[in-house]
A and B are shown apart, each in its own frame.
With several copies, the nearest count.
Chain A
Amino acid sequence: MTEPLDPSAAPAGHNADHGLLALYRSLVLIRCSEERLSAMFADGEVPGFIHLSIGQEAVSVGVMAALTAQDTIASTHRGHGHAIAKGLSLDGFFAELLARDTGLCRGRGGSMHVADMSVGMLGANGIVGAGLSIALGSALAHRTQKSGAVAVAFFGDGALAEGLVHECLNMAALWRLPMLFVCENNGWGEFLPTSKQLSFALKDLAAAYRIPHVLVDGNDVAAVAEAAARIVPEVRADGPRIIECMTTRVRGHFEGDAQKYRDADDLAALSERDPLRITATQLVRAGIAEDALASITEEVKARIHAAVEAARAAPGPGFEAALADVYTAAPAGMEAR
């Protein structure tokens, strides 16, 4: 908790220091990145549909702190936090959201499809629930290859209504795959509370599938990291687990959503559960100077600034290159196309 700040440290994740300050840095990185995106979206500089994870960052950071580079994750439409915490290239991230050729997806995917295979981030996903089956298959591959890696599926509470999720719970349990289910329960699926969408609690479903389930405060990164550190080794050794993170969707369903359908007091109260605030308070209580936290924010912002400027300077994607990537080049001698 008192380690010196290393400005060159990678975001929490692979072999990173799991101390709270490192986690905090990662929270700040996600938050500042998304706030920057929000501003650029409002300015018309970021196109498409943007779903921010502001208020939910602690889930990504806490879980990823327990993973290695070999572990894989499958994400959702609200995937920026997962992607950044897993350690994807920040330059590639911003370049993608700005639709540049230097983007991780060369400007073809955008926010809903950011992916970085080099760090085991198998993609955000525009289809609610689809990531679970991708993680399921990745877990199957890990097991078949005896790699010792785990696969993690992130999904929202609204996704629990998709039949595919149940198919995956059943198969993961049946085959005892090294798969971690992480539910980000923010109480909403688009514009309707999930209490009006779901007749069940995940805890009870987990009991039916006999998959051990823990409920954590998804806005307390220390709590999430502690749970993940305990549970990921169980997944590696013994099979599927579920971590359900109670969390808060702050910015509405997508950028541009004024959330008129929400109770104003509820919205106002969200700041009390702000993951950054919670962790900052813990750090200050543990003796970290407020200045140290502020300087983390400054550094992070500088890093983001550099990424944004690099993205702005980068060329847009080329049509011919895109067309050439619909298929992989056929293996030598096969001339499949």
Chain B
Amino acid sequence: MPELRYLKAINLALADAMAADPSVILIGEDVSEAGGAFGASRGLRERFGAERIVDTPISEAAIAGAAVGAALSGLRPVVEIMFMDFTTLVMDAMVNQAAKARFMFGGQSSVPMVLRTPHGGGLGAGPQHSQCLEAWFAHVPGLKVVCPSDPASAYGLLRAAIADPDPVVFVENKALYAMKAEVPAELPIIPLGQAATLREGRDVSIIAYGAAVHTALAAASQLAGEGVEAEILDLRSIQPWDEQAVLRSLAKTHRLVVVHEAVEAFGVGAEIVARMADIGFDELDGPIVRVGAPFMPVPFSKGLETAYLPSAERVVQAVRRTLA
């Protein structure tokens, strides 16, 4: 099996989507001549032309708003917002325009656009360049939210997101960009809304997405040494998320831990827990424990940031707590 980097998987998905559909365009700051701040669109301008890979001024609100207008007029724009922290500037376009257009216009239109943006810490980028804000978007009816954990799912989910008729917020963990993994020679498109079981286990279900999937896997290895078999689900899509898969796993293990890099309080994990505390209540044999970031901005110092980010050790402790 060939190896592929996460960033290259994004690049390939963009290229294949643009080759497959001439209405796909890419728009954002430094996406064209520079090939993207992180290099996600490298080489695409040469291949598809500057008309389809559009460098913009530093005007996030207008970029996202223009994507809505372009999507209503026949294009499939893929917007890049350089850091998820800057999505603070596109909330109106995404929430009041993109998310609502279909519903609010009585089903007359779809808004096939994707907003790609990297979240996450680990780079010492500090409080305004590291946030995980996906819970905001997941709370907004009309938006879909995706967050892949590895190269193959990054490719497959991005293809699905671009093909999707509705607006999708596509979140990439920037600490994963350099990650390399084996992938099938033919990369499949992966439907939105489906979780993947990455590890089977009977004792506890650990639900994660994005970079936290790897934290969960590391915890599972450690737990296996203690005789605890954890089942790991990679959520992949956050909105919609695969409620049935989580429920099935819970029905098997009767214990639940949810892990993500975002701040724990009012984060994505809260919804998963809340659903399971309702529809999965009868299956529960212990408290549902979340592992997320503490309630503070992402700090700059390496030492603080390491203490801040969810660790395998904290996941192990969470599992022990629900098994206790």
Contacts and interface: CB of A to CB of B under 8 A. Distances in A.
A192 interface: yes
A236 interface: no
B58 A129 contact: yes
Interface string A182-223: 000000011110001110000000000000000000000000
Given A104-B105, A127-B96, A141-B75, A336 B144 contact: yes
Contact of A130 (B34, B52, B97): B97
Interface in B70-105: 70-75, 77, 85-86, 88, 92-93, 96-97, 101-105
Given A112-B129, A167-B57, A133 B25 contact: no
Interface in B263-304: 294-297, 299-304
Contacts of B73: 72, 122, 137-138, 141-142, 145, 151
Interface stretch (B158-166, B200-208, B217-225, B226-234): B158-166
Given A103-B106, A319-B307, A326 B69 contact: no
A130 B301 contact: no
B29 A326 contact: no
B303 A317 contact: yes
Interface string A119-131: 0001101111110
A47 interface: yes
Contact of B108 (A116, A127, A198, A316): A116
Contacts of B144: 327, 336
A48 interface: yes
A100 B301 CA distance: 8
Contacts of A171: 56-57, 59, 62, 66
B147 to A, nearest CB: 15
Interface in B38-53: 51-52
A190 B75 contact: no
A2 interface: no
Interface in A264-318: 316-317
Interface in A70-100: 72, 74, 96, 99-100
Contacts of A196: 55
Interface string A45-66: 0011100000000000000000
Nearest to B194: A335
B65 A133 contact: yes
A99 B304 CA distance: 9
B184 interface: no
B72 A334 contact: no
A137 B106 contact: no
A11 interface: no
B301 A74 contact: no
B67 A328 contact: no
Contact of A107 (B96, B109, B296, B301): B301
Given A190-B29, A326-B297, A117 B109 contact: yes
B129 A108 contact: no
A330 B192 CA distance: 10
A250 interface: no
Interface string A152-184: 000000110111100110110010000000000
Contacts of B296: 322-323, 326
A135 B142 CA distance: 21
Contact of A109 (B29, B105, B110): B105
Q: Give the most central of B66, B103, B127, B165: most A CB within 10 Å.
A: B66
Nearest to A115: B105
A48 B124 CA distance: 4
A326 B102 contact: yes
Contact of B68 (A137, A161, A337): A137
B23 to A, nearest CB: 8
B129 A191 contact: no
A136 interface: yes
A316 B305 CA distance: 12
Contact of B30 (A72, A126, A137, A192): A192
Given A107-B304, A171-B59, A191-B34, A330 B164 contact: yes
Contacts of A322: 103, 296, 299, 304
A61 to B, nearest CB: 23
Contacts of B37: 190
A331 interface: yes
B61 A317 contact: no
Given A326-B142, A328-B166, A334-B163, A110 B300 contact: yes
A138 B69 contact: yes
Contacts of A132: 62, 65
Nearest to B111: A328
Interface string B122-133: 011111110000
B249 to A, nearest CB: 20
A325 B129 contact: no
Contact of B59 (A103, A163, A327): A163
Contacts of B142: 326-327
Question: Which one of A103, A137, A159, A164 has the greatest number of beta carbons of chain B within 10 Å?
Answer: A137
A112 B304 contact: no
A113 B192 contact: no
Given A151-B69, A334-B160, 6 more contacts: A47-B124, A126-B96, A133-B68, A141-B69, A141-B73, A192-B34
30 contacts: A96-B106, A99-B302, A105-B104, A108-B106, A113-B105, A113-B126, A126-B96, A133-B66, A134-B72, A137-B67, A137-B69, A140-B54, A158-B57, A161-B57, A163-B62, A170-B57, A171-B66, A189-B58, A261-B34, A316-B301, A317-B301, A319-B307, A319-B308, A322-B296, A327-B165, A328-B165, A334-B160, A334-B163, A335-B193, A337-B240
Interface of B: 25, 29-30, 33-34, 37, 51-52, 54-59, 61-62, 64-75, 77, 85-86, 88, 92-93, 96-97, 101-110, 123-129, 141-142, 144, 160, 163-166, 191-193, 240, 294-297, 299-304, 307-308
